[in-house]
Amino acid sequence: MSNNIFDPKITQMGDKVMSGVLFTGSSQAVKVITQIISVVLLARLISPENFGIMAMTGPVFGFITLFTDLGFGQALTQKKEVTHDDVNALFWINFGVSLVVALIVIAVAPLAGAFYHEESVTYLLIAMSALILFGTLGSIHGAITYRRMEFGLLAVLDTIGAVGGVLASIAWTFVSPTFWALYVGMVVSSLLPVITLWLTVRWLPTKPGGFAQVKSLLHFGAGVTSFNVFNYLARNLDNVLIGQKWGGVPLGLYDRAYKLLLYPLQNVTGPLSKVMLPALSRLHGDPDRYRAAFNKALALTLLATVPAVALLLVSADVLIPFVLGDEWLGVIPIFKVLAICAFIQMLNNPTGWLFLSQARTKAMSIWGLVTAITSIIAFFIGLPYGPVGVAAAYAVSEYIRTPLLWWLVTSNGRIKRRTVLGAVLPIYISVGIALAFGHFVQPLLAGMSPFFSLPLYGLLVYGTTVSAMMAFPKGRETLLAALNLGRGLSAKILRR
């Protein structure tokens, strides 16, 4: 076993993955609860106008910060062997690029303020440039921690950052109940994990050098960064077009539908990606174990998410007014179309594990460009028909792209299309049966209180899905794997 401080201390890969699921899941639960508390409390302490000023900085800041990490974290996680010189060179390159990006933010801040006719946006963007440097100081240390598969430490970092940031924002409202309170929370949530990383990770940068030897890592990072840019355009241009064409109210409906559907699902798929990338990277030299690990993780991910999408779709007419209120009924048709899109997105999201763990970032970048172009075309096709039209056109484009995406990720033969189909078809067929059954009983539940009908929808969808999966050998295998995972996690929780 290697004594390199950058290598994971692995006794059994299954234990590492299970610990990762436990730690990241627990951390994510804390973060979700913290976000809910934050939304409720800060909305009562800070005016909508100040939230609006903060939101104005989002597009500029979000786009520019895509260039601060440059994919180096994923590159270090994926690389088979890493030395101090590799990590040191990437640290200084990352810091230098982030310093340039911070200066660009400062330079464009007056332009953003003039665009919005809001001087406060200028000052806020200038202040936010410091956040870029704060994040950079911890990005390489975070990558080392991911490479070591120290998921417990990562969970602690996420938790203290989220909780500390909210507490700082709430405390600052007693000093200044403005957007500066939100900014202070961002500073604290950025700095606390960085300080913790520097205190716990046994690595410190030395003088700059060794840049020539990290050429392959730079190529890897360039592919990741270009994909992130294309993906950012594909995920954000719809909001810009709807806002410009149809105004604030339709955009607000679209935004609520999008976030209400995807945020809960991202809280499942996002943390799991953090576990699977280092795990698959370690198994890259063993094709059979690599293939088995991916197929199992894909099936379990779909089992966790696709029935949830079905539940949201079949109960939307009850769920939306119950959660948001009757004034948000316009969200329902948008929400349903996006749910139909989410069915296939849950299948496609794990392909990122394959691109990154196999170091195929050039192909990933090309796919990002294809996705961006086809998504933008779809946005313009659907735009004359309002938010529902945009959502529907985007959903159609996602279904059209899916066969091409899976052809691309399986083209090198490491993952077999036949085995992927065998893993996912029982879930989709079973969920389809549950959807049909749910549609049939909708009139019977229409007059009931949401407190009764929503749990019944849940029992109906999940009960039908599990029952139908029992008819398939691969379905029974996936259910058994989920049961064993649950038992293992329960045992770990009890031991801890």
How far is the CA of 339 from the CAs of 259, 382, 402, 483, in angstroms? 11, 17, 16, 27
Does the pLDDT at position 383 exceed 90? yes
Does the pLDDT at position 3 exceed 50? no
Residue that wins the pLDDT comparison between 445 and 285: 445
Does the pLDDT at position 360 exceed 80? yes
Those residues whose C-beta lies under 8 Å from the C-beta of residue 488, and which sit 6 or more positions away, are 18
Contact indicator for 414, 290 with CB cutoff of 8 Å: yes
Contact indicator for 342, 257 with CB cutoff of 8 Å: no
Looking at residue 3, the DSSP 8-state letter turns out to be -
* pLDDT at residue 103, rounded to an integer: 92
Q: How many CA atoms lie within 13 A of 221 on its CB side?
A: 23
How confident is the prediction for the chain on average, in pLDDT? 84
Instruction: Please give the average per-residue pLDDT across 390-404, as a whole number.
Output: 96
Q: Which two tokens stand for residue 46?
A: 């800070």
Instruction: Please give the average per-residue pLDDT across 82-93, as a whole number.
Output: 85
Q: Which two tokens stand for residue 130?
A: 């410091």
Instruction: Please give the average per-residue pLDDT across 222-235, as a whole number.
Output: 84
* pLDDT at residue 2, rounded to an integer: 46
Does the pLDDT at position 476 exceed 90? yes
Does the pLDDT at position 309 exceed 80? yes
Looking at residue 424, the DSSP 8-state letter turns out to be H
Question: What is the rounded distance in angstroms from the CA atom of residue 100 to the CA atom of residue 7?
Answer: 31
* pLDDT at residue 270, rounded to an integer: 67
Does the pLDDT at position 408 exceed 50? yes
pLDDT per residue as tens digits for the range 127-173: 988 888 888 888 888 888 877 777 777 778 888 888 888 899 899 98
Contact indicator for 306, 431 with CB cutoff of 8 Å: yes
Instruction: Please give the average per-residue pLDDT across 407-434, as a whole number.
Output: 92
Other C-beta atoms closer than 10 Å to the C-beta of 183 total: 22
* pLDDT at residue 312, rounded to an integer: 92
Does the pLDDT at position 248 exceed 80? no
Instruction: Please give the average per-residue pLDDT across 248-256, as a whole number.
Output: 77
Residue that wins the pLDDT comparison between 278 and 293: 293
Region of poorest pLDDT, from 85-89, 261-265, 433-437: 261-265
Residue that wins the pLDDT comparison between 367 and 82: 367
Task: Label residue 260 by pLDDT band (50, 70, 90).
Answer: confident
* pLDDT at residue 465, rounded to an integer: 96
pTM for the whole structure: 0.77
* pLDDT at residue 335, rounded to an integer: 93
Question: Hey, where are the domains in the chain?
Answer: 1-209, 216-496
Task: Label residue 8 by pLDDT band (50, 70, 90).
Answer: low
* pLDDT at residue 1, rounded to an integer: 39
Residue that wins the pLDDT comparison between 30 and 371: 371
Task: Label residue 77 by pLDDT band (50, 70, 90).
Answer: confident
Question: What is the rounded distance in angstroms from the CA atom of residue 48 to the CA atom of residue 103?
Answer: 29
Region of poorest pLDDT, from 47-56, 297-306, 468-477: 47-56
Does the pLDDT at position 477 exceed 50? yes
Those residues whose C-beta lies under 8 Å from the C-beta of residue 71, and which sit 6 or more positions away, are 220, 221, 222, 223, 224, 225, 228, 361
Q: Which two tokens stand for residue 12?
A: 């059994």
Looking at residue 448, the DSSP 8-state letter turns out to be S
Residue that wins the pLDDT comparison between 378 and 211: 378
Task: Label residue 381 by pLDDT band (50, 70, 90).
Answer: very high
* pLDDT at residue 402, rounded to an integer: 96
pLDDT per residue as tens digits for the range 88-115: 888 888 888 889 888 988 998 898 888 7
Does the pLDDT at position 24 exceed 70? no
Share of the chain above pLDDT 90, in %: 30
Does the pLDDT at position 67 exceed 50? yes
pLDDT per residue as tens digits for the range 325-353: 887 888 899 999 999 999 999 999 999 98
